[in-house]
Each structure stands twice: as structure tokens, then as C-alpha cells.
Structure 1
Amino acid sequence: MPTQNKDKYTTEQKRKAAHIEDSYESKGVSRGEAEARAWATVNKQSGGGEKKGGSGTKKPASAKSHDRKDSAKRAVSAKHGSPRNTSGQSLDSQTKVDLMQRARGLNIAGRSTMTKQELISAIRKAA
């Protein structure tokens, strides 16, 4: 039996339940059964009445923005692949691409405009 007090439901949920109830009644289902099925459907789809705080709350915009940036960073690092295992090689024998990836990992500023020798010097200073 559906709850009589529908104050906790949003107007959209009430509208949806009324529409579902009308649909069931037009198919020949009794009024009480149609109402019960309609509210059961609304509860299943939306989780019940309107949520006020607690575990059903949405993230604030700032948290969403932060999560999107983190996700984008992970996607870029996955796209470029992790730097090759060059720990055993000397810096002089590595390619400029490998050195750039290593400099990126060390957060060396200005790395994109550096020559190979400048990258080697900067990496040695940072490490």
C-alpha cells in the first residue's frame, strides 16, 4: 500500500506517478492497484522522495572540476604511456623524447623549449 503523505516527493515525481497511474487505469487496472504500481515505479526509478543531504547529495561544482582535471591528467599520461625504463641508461644515451618525459615527471619548467643538452643539465640538477 502506498504511503498517503507525498510531501517529500518533487513535483516531477508526482507528475510522473500521475501519468503512470493514468496509463495503468486506461489498461483496465483498478484505481488502487494503478496508484500502487505508479508509486512503486517512481520509487524504483528515483529512489523515493526528495533527498535532503546525507549520502544522496551531489558533489559541489568545485569537487567536480577538480575530479575532471585529475581524470584528464590520467588520460593524458595513459595516452603518452609511462616513460620507458631508462634508469639504467646514462642521460647522454637517451633520446630527447625520453628526456622530455623524465623532465615532465620532475616538473621542470621551460622543458619544451630546451635542447637535449639543456634537458640533461636540468634533470641532473633536479635529481
Structure 2
Amino acid sequence: MPAGSSSKRERQYEHIKDGAEERGATPRRAKEIAARTVNKERARSGESREASRTSLRDEKSASQRGGERSHRGSVSPTRDQLYEEAKKRHVEGRSSMNKEQLRKALGR
């Protein structure tokens, strides 16, 4: 935490860090998550000298969002990946199928 942080932000940092560690994050990653979260909250409330545009642009704080954007990393397989899986499983007619048809044929 930066020098001069409030006791509230110190408690918030510790709470977030402990929670991240309980969920399996390494201590280093937990500290990073906590620091980024607290710094963003500080920026939004005007407690820091500098702030990124994204810190100020959010309509809701991270705690208010409740993980709304935390699953951006889940990406569906491409049509080519589905086609290769269908090929391995010997799905008939796979060459003329689109992505959705391949997904259905593979039971996804």
C-alpha cells in the first residue's frame, strides 16, 4: 500500500489479499490482486493523484459489480477446432457443417 493510505484501505487490502489466497492464488498474485483493486477504488473516490481512464470510467466499483466481468477469459472453440475434433470422432458430413452444427454433432 502507498504511504499515507487510510486505515480503511489497509483493511480492504488485507481482506482482498486473504480472500485471494484462500481461493488458491499464490501470495504474490494475491498481493497484486489486492493492490490493483484497492488502487482502483482509491482512484474512483479521488484519493489518488493519478488514475487511469478505466478506473474512473466504470459505473460500478468492483465490489458492486460482483464479478460481472470476471469470466471474459472463457472462449469457445473455433470452427476449425470443432472440425478437428469431429474428424477424430469420425463425424459424417462434418466438412459441410458450420460451427453451430459441429457443436451439436459433438454434443456440446
More helix as a share of residues: 1
> Which structure has the larger Rg over C-alpha atoms?
1
TM-score, normalised via structure 1 length: 0.33
TM-score (ref. length: structure 2)? 0.39
